[in-house]
Amino acid sequence: MNRRVRVAMLDSGVFANNAHIRHPPHGGVTIVSEGERPGFQDTLGHGTAVCALLQQMAPEADLFAVKIFDQRLATSLSIVLRAIEWCVQEQMDVINLSLGTSNEAHRESFLAAIADVQSHHAVLVSAYDLNGTLMLPGSLPGVVGVVEDAGCPRESYRVIRDGPVRLAACPYPLNIDGVPRERNLRGVSFSVAHISAQIARSWTRIPNPSDPLDYLARGAPMLLSDA
């Protein structure tokens, strides 16, 4: 492999001066309904927490901030699809998608985006479900679907095999000194980031980069995988 693995974080951007951020992302963009804008300053904190987690767990990866959230953790289908398209054009390897929807009207649009991602030998990682409700695109074929497991150690993951294979991982960002974990952020989006980090760490060993689930399900070196 001639270059480092490239991981795109589709989230609220990154605040590079945060104490948990080791160095600024290698690049990025803000996606709005009108198109693209330069910069990716985070005003919500969520994307910054995702970036800090990925920097610690996958230091060998080049991270790119793709800002799709602004004033709140909500966006539109057109912005998400445009962001995924940007990732394909910019040759991202791993697309970490911190969102999901149960709106079935979006299925065909996501299926087309997934096919485009796979055709460029990249992988999309997203939430499989939320409180038992299946999410798109995370529950669709061709996506690495992730669920949260508060009992899973940070450096491990669990394989769930009843039905479509999916992965379970820790739902917490990095710890904050002096703050109990239960008072920190929590959610399946951080489980997604944990799995994106595991994929980035294993990237050069995955036989088919556009479909890493089989490799992860068999257990990457030094990782826990069990049903």
> Per residue in 70-90, pLDDT tens?
988 889 999 999 999 999 999
Residue at 63 is within a domain:
yes
What is the per-residue pLDDT for 222? Answer: 36
Residue at 64 is within a domain:
yes
What is the per-residue pLDDT for 224? Answer: 37
Average pLDDT over residues 166-185: 77
Residue at 226 is within a domain:
no
Residue at 224 is within a domain:
no
CATH number of the domain residue 82 falls in:
3.40.50.200
What is the per-residue pLDDT for 187? Answer: 93
Angle at 89 between CA 86 and CA 92, to 5 degrees: 80
Residues 24-38: tens digit of each pLDDT: 999 999 999 999 999
Say whether pLDDT at 194 is over 90.
yes
Report the number of distinct structural domains present in the chain.
1
Cβ(128)–Cβ(145) below 8 Å:
yes
pTM of the shown model: 0.92
Residue at 80 is within a domain:
yes
Residue at 112 is within a domain:
yes
Average pLDDT over residues 118-129: 96
Say whether pLDDT at 180 is over 80.
no
**What distance in Å separates the CA atoms of residue 113 and residue 166, rounded to the nearest whole number?**
20
**What distance in Å separates the CA atoms of residue 130 and residue 140, rounded to the nearest whole number?**
14
Say whether pLDDT at 225 is over 50.
no
What is the per-residue pLDDT for 183? Answer: 59
State the sign of the Cα–Cα–Cα–Cα dihedral 62, 90, 142, 150: positive
| Band (179; pLDDT cuts 50, 70, 90) | low
Report the mean per-residue pLDDT for the chain.
Answer: 90
Q: What is the domain range of residue 196? A: 6-218
Residue at 1 is within a domain:
no
**What distance in Å separates the CA atoms of residue 22 and residue 117, rounded to the nearest whole number?**
29
Say whether pLDDT at 223 is over 60.
no
Average pLDDT over residues 122-133: 95
